[in-house]
Structure 1
Amino acid sequence: MTRNSAQGLMRIRQRLCGRMPKFALIGAFGAGVNVAIMTVLVAWGVNYLIAALIATETTIVSNFLMQERFVFAGLGPLGRSKAIRFLHSFGFNNAETLARVPFLWLLVDKMGVVSPLAQLGTLSAAFIVRYTFHSRVVYAPTPAATDCTPSDTTAPREVAR
């Protein structure tokens, strides 16, 4: 096995055993809450696009809080401040929501899919993009935290002879 293949397998293992399953579980819970809120609002006569936006804004905040607690806890000094992480997450999720709205409209108005089911489909389709952004941007170590210094225990050491 080549070194690149081994590294690739290790990355897959880390994702399967690491943060991705927790992120997915929180995402699934959030999607369920999102669809439930949307279903209630639509039943009350709210336009499905407005209901989708209200449901999404609610779950953006709740998912962020759960990710902080259960998925990305323990970053310590390596990560950005909670406020900066929230702003990155909130900004990205709102941009991603705006990108999903045309697909939601297409599914509901042009293809006749029931709006909560269409919402669930668009949320599911965007999962990998959300996870990749959060793990690589929102929760990435700050550049200063990744610099090697002589006192860093991971830096190569000179062997005494």
Structure 2
Amino acid sequence: MANIKLKGSGYGQFGGFTPYGNVTVLAFALATTALGAAAESNSTAAVKNGDVIELGILPTGMRLEDAQVIITTAMTAATTGKLGFVYEDGVDDAAVPQDAAYFINGGSLATAARLRASGTKLVVLPKPAKLVLTVGGADNAKASDIKVLVYGELTGPK
């Protein structure tokens, strides 16, 4: 029986000489008020079906590997969400197209739960991207508490 050894992945570490690697977790928080508006945002209106909430920035060179949406206090019944990314400059990239449902497509935000990413591809962001949650299904009319964790490897800019 042969022992088969794969060649190296070709991924170099970025940002230091630590044996622990360069995997990171970026945390984002979304809380809504009793009237359903996103707290600490530029809007006082309740979050509506079709609204896109910009949760934060994903850096250039991040290889997107996984995400979790932790719903501690749910939104209004029937509210769903897509979690993905769009480029900060608004210009698509042919090799890595922006995808507003990259991590999750149609996950329920109406029940306390932990949602995991359901995608099947890995991408490395060629430029900074906004992490976006697109609300669907229903308008939100209540307080909620949602945390989003994005896992990836910081490979650095090319």
The TM-score bracket by the shorter chain reads 0.3 to 0.5
> Which structure shows the higher helix fraction?
1
- Give the TM-score taking structure 1 as reference length: 0.33
Larger RCO (CA within 8 A; separation ≥ 6): 2
> Which structure shows the higher strand fraction?
2
- Give the TM-score taking structure 2 as reference length: 0.33
